[in-house]
Structure 1
Amino acid sequence: MRILGIDPGLQTTGFGVVDCDASSLDYVASGTITTTHLPRGDLPARLKVLFEGIGEVRARYAPDVASVEIVFVNVNPQATLLLGQARGACVTALVTGGLSVAEYTPLQMKQAVAGYGKAGKAEVQEMVKRLLKLPGLPGKDAADALGLAITHAHAGQAMARIAAATQTTRRTSGMYKAGRTY
């Protein structure tokens, strides 16, 4: 199974691709999509760059599934809203291509990769390097994205088994045709 991890950000979005075969993890690619070359006030153009960049990564590496970091609430609500919009552009690019998207918090990713939910960026980078047998440290955003892919490789299988064993149904009250709510 090929997993694409996405660490969304309005200025820099990290991506990482790993192949998971039973208990083996193999590095495929990683990098960043940046919008720093655009004016800070041009939000629509920046979201377009993220959407198209994720679409290009999805087309190039043909992942089977994606995992994306869940937005946490900052002290600054405006920054949280902007990050949420960047995340929305990334998730939309993934589902437009037919990928299922798993979501993990930074705490879950750090626990899965470093064994400690409050691990720092440097610790995550080092553990990603070790787990994927990389020759050097990946960048911070790429390391987080690879960490999300690794998290899904470990947790995704267990979650799928739990979902298959229990009957989960979607709540339908207050919903309209095609799942839209008004």
Structure 2
Amino acid sequence: MRILGIDPGYAILGYGIVELKGNHFEVCGYGAITTDAKMDMTDRLKCLYHSLSEIIAQYEPDEASIEELFFNTNVKTAIMVGQARGVAILACANSGMKISEYTPLQIKQALVGYGRAEKKQMQSMVKTILNLQQVPKPDDTADALAAAICHGHSANARRRLDKIKK
């Protein structure tokens, strides 16, 4: 199963694509889509949509894992990130992918075993699980890969439960 992980943002949208083979993950690609702060928000959202759609067409993931919005004290920023998240969901939905959403706590729990893990712990686990030479940069990229890994672990658990139910 090929999984697209997304860390939504309107300035930087992190993405990571991993292939789950049994219990092993292989990296297919990762990076960040960035938009210029001088751009109109509408143009930023269009840029995110088109760029993410191109990535989806290139890598052909089967499923998507999107980090849920962590509400911060800046309401305006939260709304803008929510718009970018909606655009990411739309790009995935338009490609026919199954979309799963995970909270930051769920992602940390899946990777580190502790929902309050520090960012450096998460990044270290992403590097280790994916057998990378260094932690992916920017941080949004590592977060997107973490979301993909989280979904992969959840998918394996769902498959095991489905076998038990049969």
CA RMSD of aligned residues (A): 1.8
Output the CA distance in 2 between the equivalents of 1:69 and 1:102: 9
Aligned to 2:27: 27
Alpha-carbon spacing, 1:82–1:15, altered in 2? closer, same or farther (3 Å):
same
Evaluate the alpha carbon distance shift between residue 23 and residue 163 of structure 1 in structure 2; reply closer, same or farther with a 3 A threshold: closer
Percent same amino acid at aligned positions?
43
2:126 pairs, out of 128, 131, 145, with 128
Task: Determine the C-alpha separation between the residues in 1 that align with 2:66 and 2:156.
Answer: 16
2:157 maps to a residue whose letter is A
**Which residue does 2:152 correspond to in 1?**
153
What amino acid maps onto 1:45 in structure 2? Answer: D
* Higher relative contact order, chain-length normalized (CA < 8 Å, sep 6+): 2
Count of residue correspondences: 164
SS state at 1:83 partner: helix
Question: Structure 2 CA distance, aligned partners of 1:10 and 1:116?
Answer: 28
TM-score (norm 1): 0.84
Q: State TM-score, norm by structure 2.
A: 0.92
- Looking at structure 2, the residues matched to 47 and 9 of structure 1 have their Cα atoms a distance apart, in angstroms, of 10
Q: For residue 10 of structure 2, what is the aligned residue in structure 1?
A: 10
- Give the Cα separation in 2 of the matches to 1:5 and 1:29: 11
In structure 2, give the amino acid aligned to 1:10.
Y
Q: For 2:163 and 2:22, how far apart are their aligned partners in 1? A: 19
In the other structure, the counterpart of 2:72 is 74
Provide the residue aligned with 1:114 in structure 2: 112
- Report runs of 4+ in structure 1 exceeding 2 Å deviation: 156-166
| Long gaps (5+) in structure 1 | 167-182
**Alpha-carbon distance between aligned partners in 1 of 2:164 and 2:38, rounded to the nearest angstrom:** 49
The CA deviation at 1:24 is: 1.0
**What are the ranges of 5 or more consecutive residues in structure 2 without an aligned counterpart?**
none
